[in-house]
Amino acid sequence: MNAKENYERIQTGDVVEGRAFTVTTETIQDFGDASLDYNPLHFDPNWMEKNDFGGTSFNGVIMHGMQNFALITRTLTDWLVPRGGYHRRLETRWIKPVKLGDTITPEAKVIRKNPTDGGHWVQFEVIVKNQHGEPVATGQALAEFRDTIPA
Amino acid sequence: MNVMGEDFETDFWKEVNDRATWDMIVPGELRETRPVTLTKKIIQDFARKVGEDNPLYFDEEYAKSTPYGGIVAPPSIHILLMFACTTSKDWMRSPGTINAGQNWYYNAPIRPDDTITMRGTALDKFIKKDRLFAVHENLFTNQHGQVVCTGRGQTIRPV
């Protein structure tokens, strides 16, 4: 199938359900070891108890914000690769800190399709929610459908 | 063990006084960086530890059957490069640095044994309410001079 045919199979309103992810000291350690981000925000419960970040007290270690980013990326790429799409852009904002024991689940939705002079683009709206249904991160993503891999 | 091996300094308090505070960050000034070669092992260790299990990153035969033509790194590999390509004196390591949001554009995939060079600056800094923000801007290129990805982010600086 060519890029245009793949693009035409994507529908506005398509929902991409991510897998649930539970945050443990082990997942935080793994993410630190992957990212090299050893900020005590994620590793030092005592420091986090006593530190007041300009009025925001977290009462314990928090998950790396970029773990959200990586899980959103996984959700999108796992869906796009078999459909012939390429993940081209991701923009995220963190809404709420994610703590030990929280379970977060990303979801993306196709909100618009944009043919351009040279390509076929799909816009996604992204939200990551915790186990209470509260948003912890939001974002927008762009995928491109093309006949050859980028660059 | 972290994906780059034991040489990486994981104690972010060690050089805390050598790092630029918000007051010292000069928008436009280049951050000190070094090129990093991403072996297949580094790519796969990274992928596994951030929760990736797509065979595109692990199974050479499968990856060859896709348009990628072989194993690639997950797009999110820049998360590692931000720290692997900067030095232990870089202000992104200051304890208490809080990520406030990011946007990244992906141009070309990174493949095993690619050598990636980072160009990074603080693009801007500002104060909102009582919080000190820095905006950082990054460009990553491979050994062919090809842009692999670009990204921008905001962090709240520790005070």
Model confidence pLDDT, tens digit, residues A56-69: 778 899 999 999 99
A124 backbone dihedrals φ, ψ, rounded to 5°: -120, 145
Q: Which of residues 86-105 of B touch A (CB under 8 A)?
A: 93, 95-105
* Predicted local distance difference test score (pLDDT) of residue B159: 84
Q: Mention every residue, 6+ apart, whose C-beta is less than 8 A from residue A145.
A: A3, A4, A6, A7, A10, A84, A85, A86, A119, A120, A121, A122
Report the mean per-residue pLDDT for chain B: 96
- Give A92→chain B minimum CA distance, Å: 5
A48 backbone dihedrals φ, ψ, rounded to 5°: -70, -30
Listed by start position, the domains of chain B span 24-156
Could you give the ipTM of this predicted complex?
0.96
Q: What gap in Å lies between CA B67 and CA B69, rounded to an integer?
A: 5
Most confident among A53-57, B5-9, B85-89 (mean pLDDT): B85-89
Confidence of residue A54 (pLDDT cuts 50, 70, 90): low
| Residue (of A26, A35, A88, A7) closest to B103 by Cα position | A88
Angle at A23 between CA A20 and CA A24, to 5 degrees: 135
CB nearest B79 (choices: A70, A74, A91)? A70
Q: Residue A122: pLDDT above 80?
A: yes
* Predicted local distance difference test score (pLDDT) of residue B104: 98
- Angstrom distances, CA of residue A40 to CA of A8, A47, B22: 47, 7, 19
Q: What gap in Å lies between CA B61 and CA B75, rounded to an integer?
A: 20
Tabulate helix, strand, coil % of chain A (nearest 5).
30, 35, 35
Q: What gap in Å lies between CA B139 and CA B142, rounded to an integer?
A: 10
Question: Using the 8-state DSSP alphabet, how is residue B141 labeled?
Answer: E
Domains and CATH numbers, chain A: 3-145 (3.10.129.10)
Q: Say whether residue B30 is in contact with chain A using an 8 A CB cutoff.
A: no
Q: Residue B137: pLDDT above 70?
A: yes
Q: What percent of chain A has pLDDT over 70?
A: 99
| Residue (of B54, B19, B44) closest to A76 by Cα position | B54
> Contact A66/B106, CB-based, under 8 Å?
no
Confidence of residue A1 (pLDDT cuts 50, 70, 90): confident
Question: At A38, is the secondary structure helix, strand, or coil?
Answer: coil
Q: What percent of chain B has pLDDT over 90?
A: 97
For an interface test with B, which of A22, A28, A33, A121 has the most B Cβ atoms less than 10 Å from its Cβ? A33
Report the mean per-residue pLDDT for chain A: 95
* Predicted local distance difference test score (pLDDT) of residue A51: 84
Name the strand (E) or helix (H) holding B60.
helix B60-65
**Chain A residues with a Cβ under 8 Å from any Cβ in chain B:** 21, 27, 30-41, 47, 51, 53-55, 64-67, 69-71, 73-74, 77-78, 81, 84, 86-94, 148-151
| Residue (of B148, B17, B151) closest to B91 by Cα position | B17
Q: Say whether residue B156 is in contact with chain A using an 8 A CB cutoff.
A: yes
Confidence of residue A89 (pLDDT cuts 50, 70, 90): very high
Q: Which of residues 58-77 of B touch A (CB under 8 A)?
A: 66-69, 74-76
Q: What percent of chain B has pLDDT over 70?
A: 100
Q: Residue A53: pLDDT above 90?
A: no
Confidence of residue A144 (pLDDT cuts 50, 70, 90): very high
pTM of the model: 0.97
The average pLDDT across A120-134 equals: 98
Token pair belonging to A146: 């093309």
Q: pLDDT tens digits for B98-131?
A: 999 999 999 999 999 999 999 999 999 999 999 9
CATH match for B24-156 among 3.40.50.1000, 3.10.129.10, 3.40.50.300, 3.40.50.880: 3.10.129.10
Q: pLDDT tens digits for A31-50?
A: 999 999 999 999 999 999 98
